[in-house]
Structure 1
Amino acid sequence: MNERLLVPIDDSDPARAALEEATELFDPKEIVLLHVLELDEVTYGAAGAAAEGIREEREEEARELFDDARRTLGDDVSVETVLETGDPSSVIVNVAEAKAVDHIVMGSHGRSGLSGILVGSVAENVIGNSPVSVTISRP
């Protein structure tokens, strides 16, 4: 299909499954890898220099995720990485628009309340607000 895909990643089995499915199902020429630092991860419970240290640690973890994903994808796919802070579902939708992707492939834990039994709350919000089609992957 040679699409430009957005694949949000974190250190989870659903995210790894989404990355694999992105290449197997779509044969993309470009993938935008996105990692979102949630605001509470980098601000709550910490102040000043401690908050900055936590942020730096999370950013380093994101770089390692990007490096692992690049190794998984190999050299046949052009990879762009994006690191953002905020509400994951909003950031995913905004990046999809800003990067003019054709499709989003994302993992889902599917663990959020009754409305999230089949799809997790982040995935559900992305599906409802995305400017492009969304494929949800489960490990």
Structure 2
Amino acid sequence: MTPTVLVAFDESPQAAAALRHALSTYDDATIRVLYVNDPWEWAGADGIDGVFYAEEAFERSQAAAEAVIAEAEAIAREYDAEITTATEVGTASETIVSYAEEHDVDHVVLGSHGRRGLERYLLGSVAERVARRSPGSVTIIRDERPAEDD
């Protein structure tokens, strides 16, 4: 049976590195890419004239999600690979784990740090929570870019 690999994907360089790792390492697997649209992020968005409009904020977040998924699809094309993409609304770690359980994921690959940087550090690492709760194995990828030549 073909293994299923889930890549948690957001706007971070670590997420792009995680997807590249999955595409180059698990070429015989079904690759699923998941973007979690966290309402805690868009709920605090500025509204029009200082008034918050939940529907408009959600629509903006959906447009941003589409752009992030398009980036994942572009990376997959670099590897001449097919991926299955999904966007879910929820908190990152819980949604990633639930998605992995519901879709019989064998392995999860995600970046060590996501789009919220210090805030994620202060709240606790999504990667750590996923590693502790995932139904299968987890690989955490750091984006280690080579030093630029001087």
Whether these two folds match at TM > 0.5 is: yes
Q: Which amino acid aligns with 1:127?
A: A
Please tell me the root mean square deviation across aligned C-alpha atoms, in Å.
Answer: 2.6
Give the 5 Å matches for 1:31-46.
31-44=31-44
Structure 1 residue runs of 4 or more that deviate by more than 4 Å after TM superposition: 45-49
Gaps of 5+ in 1: none
Tell me how far 1:29 sits from its aligned partner: 3.6
Q: Which amino acid aligns with 1:124?
A: E
1:135 to 2:139 alignment: yes
Query: Which of 50, 54, 59 lines up with 2:57 in the alignment?
Result: 54
Structure-2 separation of matches of 1:32 and 1:127: 17
Distance 1:13 1:45, change over 3 A: closer
Verify the 8 A CA contact 2:45 2:52 in the aligned structure 1: no
Alignment of 1:1-139 (within 5 A): 3-44=3-44, 50-74=53-77, 76-109=80-113, 112=121, 121-139=125-143
TM-score normalised per structure 1: 0.83
String of CA shifts for 1:31-86, please: whole Å, max 9, x gaps: 11111111212324668972111111111111111112112112743322211111
How far apart, CA to CA, are the structure 1 residues paired with 2:3 and 2:26?
Answer: 7
Aligned residues: 134
Change (3 A) 1:46 1:26: same
Q: Which runs of 5+ in 2 are unaligned?
A: 144-150
